[in-house]
Structure 1
Amino acid sequence: MTTVAPGPLAGAARLRPDGWLTHPLPTDPETATARISALLRRHHPDAAGPVRCLTARYRSATFTVGGPPHTIVKWHADETAYLAERLAYDLLTAERVLPTLRDSHDGARTLLVDYLPDTANLADPDVFDDLIATVAHVHTASARWDTTIQEAMAPWRVDTAVHGDASWTDDPRAWRRMLRLVAAAHGPGHVPLGNLDLKPDHVRRDADRPLVLVDVETLRPDVTGLPDVVTLAYLAAHADHPRPGIRVRGRYLHHLGQAGARWADRDLIAALTGFATATGLASLHGLDS
């Protein structure tokens, strides 16, 4: 039995039970470093320099390469998680919201990206607004895809999802109402990318871009972007922004409008409420105020 995960999506997100991974990664940093070093020599021979472990978890591990660091290596235990992050680089290249992908290897489940040392100050209102704009860019990316990507991603269009199986939700009718509101705002051909792993440490600065999201392993084309709006409100509250839910909702609507989506405020509130009802989300963090 899974347990409810804490954090911004408490109730809607659930922790997986121990033992769900067939081949978990080593959690000892020295062992993880030795194994990733061998994988780099075999599959990424151009990644030269000393390797240092940043995180060693059974699901994924991250490392820096170089002294000073120039590359981040991300290593996944789960093939689905690896493919989800690899897909993000294919789908979001034109948006310039991710670090540069240097290399990847499907067999090793590894990705090598540029090392970006500077975290963004989310307590700064302008920086937080840049984050909301960045998330809105991800959520509207499918409107800017070329024909080849649109055709490849057609099975995940929202007009197909609204007729799909929703028996896994607490309230399938609420889930479908939410999808219809998303389709009305973005158009029936919309592919609702979202469910990003938004955390303060995952929002970085780059020299020629406002913000970069350095961890999008949970980006999925089978959920909407609404969980990210909930997380933005949670982050805004923890950064002590005034009236965080109302502020996030208003700026999100503004940036979506700039990108061509047409949400009415009341419909966004209804969609967020539907998401909460369908998933068991514990709190909308003021977004429904």
Structure 2
Amino acid sequence: MSTALAGPLAGAAHVRPDGWLTTPLTTDSAQAEAQARSLILRRHPAAPGPVRCLTARYRTATFTLGAPARQLLKRHGDEAAYLGEVLAYQLLDADQVLPDLHSTCDTTRTLVVDFLDAPADIDRTGGFEELIAAVATIHTAPARWPQAVADTMAPWRLATTDRPAPGWIRDAAAWRRLLQLTAAAHGEDHVPLGHLDLKADHCRRRPDGHLALIDAETLRPDVTGLPDLITLAYLAQTEGRDLSPRAVRQVYRRCINDLGAQWSDAGLMNALAAFADATGLCSLHGVEQ
């Protein structure tokens, strides 16, 4: 969890220091745009033009494709982030909670997706509940995977007894307790998807009107969905929503149980406490109350 922002998950996550990336991308927009044109010609020939640089950062760069923009080229400097984002698109393909993916290239660590410019206003009535429902859809996606995907992801299934805790866990007993509670709610064969980069600006509208989340590179198949529930509670306070943290938990539990989970309120609160104990999380932001 070292790449997560420290805000809502302070204590459980730590920002990486400057200079950790061995092959940083250029931060010069003109140079980044010229590189993108060359990459598209060689690796994404079906992508529309023209190419316009949106962001040029040392870790990622993004470019609109088409006029008006129809697709987005994203380039990663970090291989793990690229593979994580591609994995997210593959695992969530059927649930329509991300932009549509058009092409990828492992060699250049690039992918082309739909460009979603329309914001999903989570301030409007019911908007934040829609975001919670999208997060619950992601957390329960493994229950709907075709058998081939489920078989491929089998190594990440919940292991409540025989595997050591990850190296970033501070309290192995609390981590084991969290996994046991998650297994009781989702089933032993569940792959615990979670760790989304949730923020208002990452909520967009697909052409079909559904809310979609952009920047899925942080999704991981081993940390459970609890970090996302905690982040939702944090957002409900810091971005002026009208839902209390307790209401966030209740809406989340209703949504995720409608999709096949079997969380009791007591079980979910115990799991939140176990996550905090296991990771050293500084605050649950009221979601456990």
- TM-score for the superposition, normalised by structure 1: 0.94
Structure 1 residues 46 and 243, CA gap change in structure 2 (3 angstroms): closer
The one-letter code of the counterpart of 1:260 is G
- The farther-off stretch of 67-76 and 202-211 is 202-211
CA contact (8 A) 2:174 2:274 kept: yes
Aligned length: 288
Query: How far is 1:161 from its partner?
Result: 7.9
- The farther-off stretch of 108-117 and 152-161 is 152-161
Query: How far is 1:5 from its partner?
Result: 4.3
Tell me which residue corresponds to 1:144: 144
Corresponding residue SS for 1:15: coil
Residue correspondence of structure 1 range 50-199 to structure 2 within 5 A? 50-159=50-159, 163-199=163-199
CA contact (8 A) 1:253 1:265 kept: yes
Any gaps of 5 or more consecutive residues in structure 2? none
Cα distance in 2 for partners of 1:98, 1:153 equals 20
Cα distance in 2 for partners of 1:162, 1:139 equals 23
The one-letter code of the counterpart of 1:165 is A
Corresponding residue SS for 1:216: coil
Structure 1 residues 161 and 218, CA gap change in structure 2 (3 angstroms): farther
The one-letter code of the counterpart of 2:197 is D
- The farther-off stretch of 80-89 and 2-11 is 2-11
Query: How far is 1:254 from its partner?
Result: 0.3
Tell me which residue corresponds to 1:273: 273
Corresponding residue SS for 1:87: helix
Identity of aligned residues (%): 54
Cα distance in 2 for partners of 1:211, 1:26 equals 32
Tell me which residue corresponds to 1:15: 15
Query: How far is 1:164 from its partner?
Result: 3.0
Cα distance in 2 for partners of 1:95, 1:39 equals 29
- The farther-off stretch of 70-79 and 200-209 is 200-209
Corresponding residue SS for 1:98: coil
Query: How far is 1:235 from its partner?
Result: 1.4
The one-letter code of the counterpart of 2:93 is T
Corresponding residue SS for 1:63: strand
Tell me which residue corresponds to 1:216: 216
Tell me which residue corresponds to 2:36: 36
